[in-house]
Amino acid sequence: MPENNEKGEEVRVGVFVCHCGSNIGGFIDCKKLTEYAGTLPNVTHSEDNLYTCSEVGLTSIKDAVEEHNLNRVVVASCTPRTHEPLFRECISEAGLNKYLFNFVNIRDQCTWVHMKDPERAYEKAVDLVRMGVAKAAKLEPLDMIKVDINPSALIIGGGVAGMSAALNLSRQGFKTFLVEKENKLGGRLNSLYKLFPYDIDASEFVDKLISNVQSAKNLEILTSSEVRNIDGFVGNFEAEIEVNGSIREIKVGAIIVAVGSSILDPKGLFNYDGQKRISQFELEPKLKNKEIKAKDVVMIQCAGSRNDKIPYCSSVCCMTALKNALIIKEQNPSTHIAILFRDLYTPGTDYEEYYRRAREKGIIFVKYNEDKLPNVEENQVKVYNEYIGTEMVIPYDLLVLSTPLVANSDNKDLAQLLKVPTEANNFFLEAHVKLRPSDFATDGIYIGGSAKWPVDISEAISQGYSAAARASTILSHKEIEVEGAISSLPEINKALCTGCEVCVKVCPYHAIIKNENDEIEIIEALCKGCGLCGATCTNQALVIKHFTDDQIISEILACGGQ
Amino acid sequence: MSFEPKLLGFLCNWCSYAGADLAGVSRIQYPPNMRIIRVMCSGRVDPKFIIQALELGLDGVFVMGCHPGDCHYLDGNYEAEKKFEMTKKFLSLAGLEDRIRLDWVSASEGKRYSEVVTKFVNDIKELGPSPLNGEEPDEELLENVRAIKAAVSSERMRALVGRERKITEEENVYGEKFPEEKFNELMDLAIKEEYERHRILLALEKYSKSVKDLAKELDIDPSLVLEHMLVLKSRSQVDFGEIIGNTPVFIRL
């Protein structure tokens, strides 16, 4: 259906007030609110629905658009974060450009949070609807931007997550480049002995995975390689890879970040010396070579984590300690083992099984407190046992520290190249923890494995597959549409632009350039629509589509009662 | 009836707006004083938006973004902070600086969202209604706030604040870094000058005036007014109108 051309047409806003069952209607008078909405400027139709998002509600929007010749639609209901796509689709089915829709949040940010003051909740809803209508009247239709897709992918990191993603994508028929910094694929798996659950042999597992990767079609492996530069945007990235000292340029449509994590340097923790007091990571090869002869082993959990410096739980250390303690017991059943822990996380039946077995085998668990850290002496550990409320003295001839996985020190550099964010601990930050866990906010770039958060092998594989699946949603198309609500320098504003280039410098995505004609130009596919340039533009020439100055100021004026 | 302030909040789509939604999902109750405008990033909040809201008599304006380091758009919140700081400095010239606030709320901080909003509501209650609120707003203050709105929209201020992070956080080609204190001095001076200049421009809106008239009306030292007039003339914002007696009278262009 062709979209209505709004140019020169009278603005006709339709307002739909949702009861959301009793979630809204149970607290404020939706009928009265609907009547009020009908009195606002530019509103030609208003109605209330029991559930505007239901089939019935959506049909009534479409019918009203036709019957009243509406060219703007406002829905006052829940939150745009969950329901905006639905209503946008609804009005585009009714023949309107999807950007002519505006959302007013009167549930999550009104009735749900002001249940005990329904009178003032109603007042707030009235203001919010007035503001929403004011903005709606100023909305303009926008075009989505079409981008061609190069059906190939770059995967950064040749650990288990990266290899899983690479296998998945190459088997789907996409040309895939797998870049690994080290001279061998496999990442940390190469240094481990056995893997939980089921004590699978790590080298057997990783060798098989590597040989699958090496024999895969469409898959090119670049070891001893590092990404030096990334340009371009979704569907059309250009990457410079340094391979053994020389630069190789490759063009891909999507990028997956699977760089994994690093191990915290245990120096300074619990008298670590790398000999008698080692990390779990250093224990693995010793287990492999069956060289552990210790009679008394003590493991300390959360060594260096869950404190002010490293506030998070590294998630793999409890299982690593249980697995390694059981292996020691197996190799030498008379060994005494004590695991000093703060909390023990063994989620799911497979992992809990390790804990049960560990108890059966006589491994001792001592709960300590962050305020009373175990005191490691030359041959014994003094620890305050939380459960029995006294200090225990435990002798050892091998002390093993369960140190956390930490973000790679060069994550920031890669993040800068890719223009993606990292979080407070320097791990990569996904677009949304629940709704978009494998995506970055930047289109065409995805994430999997410990680069995002410490994960175990099975989780790394799942996340590698997940990132690959997300990448294939783009790679499987010849062209895709990207967000139209972005920055622009309208023809009419070009004379305002002084060419100061502050916008060029402030844009986090390098989406603004000065072109060969010495004019400011926005590379639309790169722009994410944050609006920073609009708030910065020294002569207010840039316009942020869908969040224009005019639209925002009309909301402010409406809030102030005008 | 006790004073119930009316507040406006600018919430970034990804963190604070999501945090506000989470407060809803968790049914955490907080006072219903704040109206919300959703923007994609706190970096979108133009200082003039904040001033516009205050000019209308709203009792307070809250800008919320993602926590430092967690910005969905890499570092939009740092830019937001710089713009906010400049806005606050301007408002302190009119005694309104406590009516605006900047804070960070993540998508998982529904509880914190309710807490910071409640705190802001209570702080503004303590402060009392905005002098620009109601039937008879403080006219002189209103003029000054209008001057601030024009000043934050001026090319000089926008260029200065827009470049602040590049200037103070990055080295130039010679490997030198511009010290922050020195930048702040520059900023403070610019704020004072542009505030006064935009007050002068507003004062000239209706009638042409001499330096002496302006100095008296705005309570600024005449020699300073003269300096400002020369700058404004070079910017083609004012010009000599006529000469009455021996005194040149300026008009706004």
A386-397 per-position pLDDT tens digit: 999 999 999 999
**Contacting residues for A522 by C-beta, under 8 A, at least 6 apart:** A486, A487, A488, A489, A511, A512
Put simply, whether B76 touches A (Cβ < 8 Å) is yes
A255-301 per-position pLDDT tens digit: 999 999 999 999 999 999 999 999 999 999 999 999 999 999 999 99
Mind listing the pLDDT tens digit of every residue in chain B (253 residues)?
A: 689 999 999 999 999 999 999 999 999 999 999 999 999 999 999 999 999 999 999 999 999 999 987 888 888 999 999 999 999 999 999 999 999 999 999 988 999 999 999 999 999 999 999 999 888 889 999 999 999 999 999 999 999 999 999 888 888 878 888 888 999 999 999 999 999 999 999 999 988 999 999 999 999 999 999 999 999 999 999 998 888 888 889 999 8
CB pairs under 8 A between A and B: 175
| Residue in A with minimal Cα distance to B60 | A560
Cis check for the bond before B47: say yes or no (omega within 30 of 0).
no
What is the reported pLDDT for A16?
A: 98
A109-134 per-position pLDDT tens digit: 999 999 999 999 999 999 999 999 99
**Nearest Cα residue to B100 out of B142, B52, B161, B59:** B59
Token pair recorded at residue A429: 């930050």
> Residue A383 and residue A378: Cα distance in Å, rounded?
14
| Residue in B with minimal Cα distance to A418 | B74
Q: At residue A179, what are phi and psi to the nearest 5 degrees?
A: -105, 125
pTM, to two decimals: 0.78
Which band of pLDDT confidence, cut at 50, 70 and 90, is reported for residue A8?
low
Q: What would the mean pLDDT of A348-358 be, rounded to a whole number?
A: 95
| Other Cβ atoms within 10 Å of A118 Cβ, number | 16
Which residue in the set A110, A532, A557 is minimally distant from B56, CB to CB? A557
Put simply, whether B17 touches A (Cβ < 8 Å) is yes
Per-residue pLDDT at A5 exceeds 50: no
Question: Cβ contact (<8 Å) for B158 and A502?
Answer: yes
* Lowest mean pLDDT, pick from A66-70, A226-230, A241-245, B176-180: B176-180
What is the reported pLDDT for A7?
A: 57
What is the reported pLDDT for A4?
A: 42
Cα end-to-end span (Å), chain B: 48
> Residue A107 and residue A110: Cα distance in Å, rounded?
5
Put simply, whether B236 touches A (Cβ < 8 Å) is no
What is the reported pLDDT for A3?
A: 37
Token pair recorded at residue B190: 């610019």
| Residue in B with minimal Cα distance to A506 | B162
> Residue A160 and residue A317: Cα distance in Å, rounded?
18
Chain B: give the shortest CA distance to residue A337, in Å.
Answer: 39
Put simply, whether B195 touches A (Cβ < 8 Å) is no
A208-237 per-position pLDDT tens digit: 999 999 999 999 999 999 999 998 889 999
Question: Cβ contact (<8 Å) for B46 and A535?
Answer: yes
Put simply, whether A344 touches B (Cβ < 8 Å) is no
Which of A:504-543 have CB within 8 Å of B?
A: 505-506, 508-509, 528-532, 534-540
Q: What would the mean pLDDT of A466-484 be, rounded to a whole number?
A: 95
Which residue in the set B32, B37, B58 is minimally distant from A124, CB to CB? B32
Put simply, whether B162 touches A (Cβ < 8 Å) is yes
A362-403 per-position pLDDT tens digit: 999 999 999 999 999 999 999 999 999 999 999 999 999 999
Alpha helices (H) in B93-173, listed in sequence order: 110-127, 139-152, 155-169
| Residue in B with minimal Cα distance to A114 | B29
Q: Could you tell me which residue, A144 or A297, shows the higher pLDDT?
A: A297
What is the reported pLDDT for B244?
A: 84
Which residue(s) pair with B104 in the sheet? B65
Which residues in chain B touch residue A556, judged by CB atoms under 8 angstroms apart? 8, 37, 49, 52-53, 56
Q: What would the mean pLDDT of A489-517 be, rounded to a whole number?
A: 94
Q: Say if CB B53 and CB B61 are below 8 A apart.
A: yes
Q: Say if CB B47 and CB B83 are below 8 A apart.
A: yes
Which residue in the set A485, A509, A549 is minimally distant from B46, CB to CB? A549
What is the reported pLDDT for A116?
A: 94
Q: What would the mean pLDDT of A89-103 be, rounded to a whole number?
A: 97
Put simply, whether B52 touches A (Cβ < 8 Å) is yes
Per-residue pLDDT at A6 exceeds 60: no
